Structure formats: structure tokens, C-alpha cells
Amino acid sequence: MVQVVFFDVGQTLIHDDPPVPEVFTRVARRRGHNITVRDVEPCMADVMAYYQSEYMRDGDFWCVHERAVQIWLDMYTMMADFCDIHEDVPGLAQEVYDEYLLPQNWSTYPDVNACLHGLKRRGFRLGVVSNWDASLESLFRKIGLLPYFDDIVASAAVGCRKPTAAIFEIALERMDVKASEAVHVGDLPEADGEGAASVGIRPIIIDRLGRFKDTRFETIPSLTDLVSML
């Protein structure tokens, strides 16, 4: 019998809104740099490739708050260099990071609130297991999601990350629940599926875009399907 439902955060419950190029442009213009979104957008593939290479090389930056923050600062610095901004770069990068501590730059997916409300109404306890820096609980409070959750486990706050078993074991212990009594919902088969399965938690992959037809894990196209599944 499932008692606890854990959720990933980014691309599962919330997403950046507006997208990074728009936020970067807004901050840069506020600081006196004459650029447009069209100046920023072409570099995003390289910026994301940098993130992926760093994650594959040493994804443990998600285990330390300062290192997790530094990855974002490095990415915003790359964007500044692409846009030929060579002065004020540290201040610009920091201000873009600070923008993403604000609730107005994040949106919940349309299926989130109905799902969380439905699960709570049926008596499930809810938790978060996410690769995120230590600001996550504060962000959840600001965007109004915190009241739904009994516990928030952010990787940088506990010193381990998905897909390692340790972060899921911490979540189980803090919620005082057996793995067989828990479900974990996330958007990445590698981090969420493999990680949860490694400790015996039932993984469910939210696949809004139909990207994971070949995964071995259960998938759902909308979080609203989760309530009836459980």
C-alpha cells in the first residue's frame, strides 16, 4: 500500500518562465547592456552542452550548495561572453541567478495543483527528492507549493544527489516509510527511474512530450493520471 509520493522538481512540478534567454536579457539591459533575446538564444545549445558535460564529468556539484550555484554562474558567464559583454560580468551573472530565487520566474505545470490536491485529499503524504541547491525550500514557500509537502530533500542540502541510492534512503528515513510503500515521480529515467528503483521505490516517469516510449519504467502523460493510478 502506497503511503508516500515523492516528486522531482524541475520539469516535473515547475519550469522556468520566462525562459533563461529572456531573463538574462532583462537583467543585462537593466544593467546597461544593449542586447536582445535574439542575441542570447543562439548560445543556449552550447550553454546546455556545457552543463551536460559537467554533469557527466562530475555531477557531484549538486551535492554542495556553493558548487551548484557556481555552475549556474559559469553558464551565465558563458552567455555574457557570447553576447560580447566583458565588463560587469560577475555582477550580471549573480543577478541572473538571484532572479531565479524569485517566484515570478517560475511556473507550475497546469496538471500540478490538481494532482497534489487530489493526493492530499486521499491521504497520501508528499515529499520532494531533487537535485537542487539549498534554496529549494525557500522557493517552494514563495511559489505556494510548500504546504502540500511533508518534507523537502534537496541534494545540496544533504550532500548527495540522484541517481545515488543515498538521497532516496535519506528521504525514506525522514518520512519514516518503507521503500515498498513509496512512489517517486520524475521526468528523467536515468536520475529518477534508476535512482528510485535502486532502493526499491516504485518509479513513475512523467512524460508530457512522449520522449520515453522505450523506457522500462511506468510513464504517465499528465500528473492528473497519478491520482487514479494510486
State pLDDT tens for residues 151-208. 999 999 999 999 999 999 999 999 999 999 999 999 999 999 999 999 999 999 999 9
Binning pLDDT at 50, 70 and 90, where does residue 221 land? very high
Q: Position of cell 536582445? A: 36
Q: What is the mean pLDDT of the chain?
A: 97
Set of cell numbers at residue 24: 538574462
What digits encode the pLDDT tens for the residues 64-97? 999 999 999 999 999 999 999 999 999 999 999 9
* Cα dist from 131 to 18, 26, 55, 61, 160, whole Å: 21, 27, 11, 10, 9
SS3 content of the chain, % helix, strand, coil (to 5): 55, 15, 30
Query: Which is nearest to 20 in space by CA: 82, 88, 96, 77?
Result: 96
Please tell me the predicted confidence (pLDDT) of residue 211: 94
Could you give the CA distance from residue 5 to residue 149 in angstroms, rounded to a whole number?
Answer: 10
How much is the pLDDT for 15?
A: 98
The mean pLDDT value for 41-69 works out to 95
End-to-end Cα separation, the chain, in angstroms = 9
Q: What angle do CA 2, 133, 223 make, to 5 degrees?
A: 35
Any residues with CB less than 8 A from the CB of 94 and at least 6 apart, and which?
73
Q: Cell for 101?
A: 530565487
**Whether 75 contacts 47, CB under 8 Å:** yes
Q: Which of helix, strand or coil describes residue 113?
A: helix
pLDDT band for position 144 (cuts 50, 70, 90)? very high
127-to-23, 37, 106, 203 alpha-carbon distances in Å: 29, 36, 19, 14
Question: Residue 148 — pLDDT band, cuts 50, 70, 90?
Answer: very high
